Each structure stands twice: as structure tokens, then as C-alpha cells.
Structure 1
Amino acid sequence: MTNNNLISKSATNHVSPRQITIIGGRGRMGKLFKEQLSLVGHNVSILEHEDWEYADKLLTQAELVLVSVPIEYTVDVIKRAAKYLSYNTALCDITSVKTQPTQAMLEHHSGPVMGLHPMFGPNIKSFLGQKVVICPGRNDDSFQWLLDFLKSQGGELIVCTPEEHDQMMVIVQATQHFCRFSLGVFLAQVKVDIEQSLTMSTPNYRQEIDIVKRLFSQNPNLCVDIMLATEERCNAISFLADTYSRLAKLVATKDRDALIQEFENTQIFFEEKINTFIQPLNTTPRQRDFKPQMQTNMSI
């Protein structure tokens, strides 16, 4: 099935109940998917780490097995679960790294495989307006009902390869987490009176504080694992930190001309790219086949 076909088929209002098992279904994201899938009539079971004695029952008869566990455990759980799956069971994961999990699913399961990455946190109330990255693996047709479900709930599906996904997430996710993580740590270190600062803040500052607050309301393991998930992410964060350090030195030496030059160089970059990233904001959600281009000195 082509990428266009994956997301262009119209969703149907009729739902045939499916047997679904979510591994890690008591986690926050697992709970969200269980609730949303159950609401439309699917039969959703949960398998947690203490439930593996029931794995044969919970996995063998499932039409879909959804892996929703922390990044560091995902590949091991896939290998363990694959031993119980029938050849026609659809297997997918929803972790924020796609290359290694998709490879593991393809290697250890002979049936349908697909990688998903929900581009949102577990606090949402519905999938309306939310992006989900789709990384096809094998036998895409077996997942069409799931993709139709996401679309019918208002989700936007974006299809790409696992490698394209992971390269883009270095910038979209890992470095952004580090920026906000760093800002939060700084504010705590200098003991800023957040409440007072918000009384005289700009809209941008209020928005940024809200984002930082939401980051630090999460499980710390999740935040840290997102930053440390791959060597490419660690390298990019290190490169970003070097950039901070270089610019901070210019500030420390009050090198106004150098700072203006840095600003103008970056201004040119954004002016050249402006049409590229404004267009998706002004159009209806659609498939995007993207090929990330990041030209830096870092090894990613």
C-alpha cells in the first residue's frame, strides 16, 4: 500500500469490535489509547510487567497488540511479546523513537508491523487536531481500521520512514525538551517568583512558562529518556549547549557587533525557510512526505 493510500481512505462510522491488547496499558499514554479505543466499542485488554503469566491468553488471540512502554524497555518487550503472537496479529508501538522498535518488530514478528508516534502528551481529551506519525512496516492493510479510527477522531496522520522520523525528532523533540528542561532548572536555581513574574509578563513568557510547567509535571524518566534515547539526540543537545556557550561568551564580552551578526545570519535562514513552515499552518491537514535536512557540524 502506498503512503497516499494509507491516509486517503475514508473512515467509516461503523466500528467492528476488535480484540486489542495494550502492553503498558496502565501507563498514562496506554490509558489514553485504552479509553479512546474502548469508547468506540473495541475490546481492550491490558498486559503489565506483572501479568506475563497471562501473556499467552492476552496476546495470542489479539488482533492488535500495542506496545506502550518506556523507550528503554520497548525493544525487549517487543522481543518478548513476539513469541506469543499469531502470524496475522498486527503489532505496533507508540514510543517516540521509531528505527530500533520498527526493526525489532520486523525481525521478531512475521505478521503485520507498523510504528506510531503520537505527537502529543497523555493529558489530551481526544485526538481532535492531534498529529500521529505513521511509519509503515509490513502488511499496512491490517492497520487500516486503526488509521481510519484516528482520522475519524480528528487526528492528522503523517507518513514517513522510521529513519526520517528519528532524524526529525532530534530537533522537534529532544533539543526542545533540553531547552525547556534547562530553563526550568535555571528558574529553580535562581528561585524566581514565578507568580509575580506572570503579573508583568508578555504573552510569549506566559506561554513558555506554561510549557515548562507541563514538562515538569511529567514523569522525570520520560523527559530524560526522550533526551537520551539515541546518540544522535545526545550529540545534537551537546551541539546546542556549545551554541549557548558561544553566544553567552559574546554577551559576557559585550560584543554587540558579533551578536548582531549572529542575529542577521539567523534572520536570513528563517526568511529563506518562512514559506516552508508557514504553509502547513494555513492549509488543511494532509500527508507530508518530508526529508529532513539539517546541515550542522554535529554528527547526527
Structure 2
Amino acid sequence: MESNFTIGIIGGYGKMGTFFKNFFEKKGYPVVLSGRNKGLEKIELVKQSKVILISVPIKVFPEIVKEISSYIEDHHWVIDICSLKAEPVKVMKDFIKKGEVLATHPLFGPYEKDLKGKIIAIWRIKGDNLYKWFKSIMEEEKLNIIEISPEKHDQIMGLVQVLNHFWLILLAKIINDSGLDLKDIVSLTTTSFFKQLDVLRRLSYQDARLYARIQLDNPYGKKFRDLLCKNCLEFNKALNLPEEEREKKFEEYFTLAKNIASELEKLIQTY
């Protein structure tokens, strides 16, 4: 480790900022923080740090990058952890002219105690040393590292994040509107539905503002929400056909689902 290998986290008092502060300190790195009305001023943090990790809402990300960009020198390494990648990558390419730059998206939350098997997406923007260092410390934790272009990442997140969260919020609304007692639902649930309820339960720890940004900022989000609504209407319409027709239609839908499930069975076994 270099003698001056301080890691500076802009947004270091937020949930993910705190997570990475603890993560890097456990690995023996000195960490300094900048936050809203807390810690170091952003420019002072840049001057004191080798690695600059930007952990801020995507809405303010461009102005943060612009503010610090003229203070980034050749020895600096800059990392972002935004949940979308195309626009943040464009911003960093446009404004950060020196140093090395790496785009990342940790696909886990700030409450994880064990990172083994968790996923982090990365995309090298500039430089080899930062890329190798970051990849090696992620591999030490046995994370699955996925190298993916920003555009493809955002398309997949339209399904993996936007549609998933959309469905979970709808599930909660349906439970609320059903008139059924939540205790009765939990007491009589199947194993598979209990797993869905367990995922829904985790929303109680999440930040509504973050989830709103994931839902509203992804340019592919509307496509997947519309696709869900379209398929719900079509499937429901099929199930209201005369008896013989609706049974045939149900079998068509179920066969498609089984084919996807079979492919998933093969894929998931490799992870």
C-alpha cells in the first residue's frame, strides 16, 4: 500500500457511504468523509485522498463531479457507485480529464454483513491500476464481478430493479386492498409465497427517495412497467374466455413460464 493511500468518500455519511467507510477501514485503509454540512469540504477531501469514491444521489452527481473535476490530478483514482451507469459515465468522461476512473454498481444494500456471492457491476473508464486494485479487493470478498457496458447495464436494471420494485410495491398495495388480515395471510402462506413476502419485508429498511429515483430515472423503466401492465391485461383477458379456450390459453402461458424456468434452473446452478 502506498504511504498516502487515503480513501475519501463524498457522501460518506449516507447509508452506502457508511458501508464503504467500514468496508475500507476493516481492510486497513485510512478513510476521510465529506457530507452535507459534515466532515471535510469536498475539495479538501480530494486534496487529502488517493481514491475518491462518490456516493451521492444520481440527481446531484453531475454537479459534484463538475465541482471536484478541476482538482483531480494524475495520481487520483475516482469511483462512482450510482445505480444507473450511462449518464454518470458520460458525466465522468466529460469532466474528469486526469487520473483513473471506474464506474461501479454494487447490487446489494448497506446492511449486508457477508458479501460472498453478492454482485457488483463494473466498467473501466480510464486506467488499469484502479481497475486491478478494485477488482482484487472485491475478489477477496468473493463477490461476483460483472463487467458490463453502461447501456446494457441500464437496460437490464429496467427489469431487475425497476420492474422488481414496481411489482413489490403493487403486491403490498394488493395485500392492503384485499381486506384480508396480514396475520392470516402469513399463517396460511405457501413456501414460495412466503419467499415473496420475505423480499417484500425488506422494503421496511429501504429509503423511499432512493427507490423513487430508481423507478423514475431509468430511461428503460417505462418500457418494462408498460410491458407488465400489457401482459397482465392480456393474461387476465385470456382467463375470462369460455372454459375450453381459457384452459388452452392458460396452458400456453404456463408452458412459456416452464421453459423460462427450465433455463433458469440450468443458469442458477452455475452461480
- TM-score calculated relative to the size of structure 1: 0.81
Deviation at 1:263, TM superposition (A): 4.7
After TM superposition, give the deviation of residue 267 of structure 1 in Å. 2.5
2:43 is aligned with 1:45: no
CA contact (8 A) 1:59 1:81 kept: yes
User: How far did residue 242 of structure 1 move?
Assistant: 2.3
Instruction: Say if 2:137 is the partner of 1:157.
Output: no
Once residues 77 and 243 of structure 2 are traced to their aligned partners in structure 1, the CA distance between those partners, rounded to angstroms, is 58
User: What do the CA deviations read for 1:245-269 (whole angstroms, capped 9, x no partner)?
Assistant: 3323344566662464255256247
Q: Distance in 1 between the 2:215 and 2:242 partners? A: 32
Is residue 167 from structure 1 mapped to residue 133 from structure 2 by the alignment?
no
**Residue 272 of structure 1: CA displacement?**
6.5
C-alpha contact 1:136 1:161 (8 A) present in aligned 2: no
- Structure 2 counterparts to residues 1-300 of structure 1, below 5 A: 18-51=5-38, 54-110=41-97, 111-251=99-239, 257-258=245-246, 260-261=248-249, 263-265=251-253, 267-268=255-256, 271=259, 274-275=262-263, 277-283=264-270
Which moved further from structure 2: 247-256 or 42-51?
A: 247-256
| Residues in 1 aligned to 2:243 and 2:66: alpha-carbon distance in whole angstroms | 55
- 1:191-248 CA-to-partner distances (Å, cap 9, x unmatched) read 5322221111111111111111112431111112111112321222122122223323
Which residue does 1:293 correspond to in 2?
A: none
Letter in 2 for 1:199: S
Judge conservation of contact 2:79–2:101 (CA < 8 Å) in 1. yes
- Sequence identity of aligned pairs in percent? 24
Conserved 8 A contact 2:81-2:106: yes
Normalised to the residue count of structure 2, the TM-score between the two structures is 0.89
Give the Å deviation of 1:28: 1.2
Report the secondary structure of 1:231's partner residue. Answer: coil
How many Å apart are 1:24 and its aligned residue? 1.2
**Deviation at 1:36?**
0.9
TM-aligned CA distance change 1:42 to 1:187, over 3 Å: same
String of CA shifts for 1:45-78, please: whole Å, max 9, x gaps: 1111225972222112311111111222222322
Q: How much has 1:147 moved relative to structure 2?
A: 1.5
Are the aligned partners of 1:91 and 1:105 in contact in 2 as well (CA < 8 Å)? no
Report the alpha carbon displacement of residue 169 of structure 1 after superposing the two structures with TM. Answer: 0.9
Q: In structure 2, what residue type is equivalent to 1:18?
A: F
Q: Report the alpha carbon displacement of residue 270 of structure 1 after superposing the two structures with TM.
A: 5.2
Per-residue CA deviations over 1:143-170 (Å, capped at 9, x if unaligned) read 3222211110121111111111111111
Q: Matches of 2:210 and 2:125 in 1, distance apart? A: 25
User: 1 CA distance for matches of 2:243 and 2:61?
Assistant: 48
Distance in 2 separating the partners of 1:72 and 1:170 = 18
TM-aligned CA deviation for residue 176 of structure 1: 0.8
SS class of match (1:192) = coil
SS in 1 for 2:158: helix
Tell me how far apart the structure 2 counterparts of residues 204 and 235 of structure 1 sit (CA, whole Å).
27
Letter in 1 for 2:84: V
Residues 210-219 or 151-160, more deviating = 210-219
User: How many residues are paired up?
Assistant: 270
CA distance in 2, matches of 1:266, 1:100: 38
Shift in CA distance, 192/66, structure 1 to aligned 2, threshold 3 Å? farther
Distance 1:241 1:268, change over 3 A: closer
Specify the code of the residue in structure 2 equivalent to 1:115.
A
SS in 1 for 2:8: strand
Q: Is the 8 A contact 1:90 1:143 kept in 2?
A: no
> Which secondary structure does the structure 1 equivalent of 2:205 belong to?
coil
Q: 1:56 to 1:219 in 2, by over 3 A?
A: same
Distance 1:91 1:186, change over 3 A: same
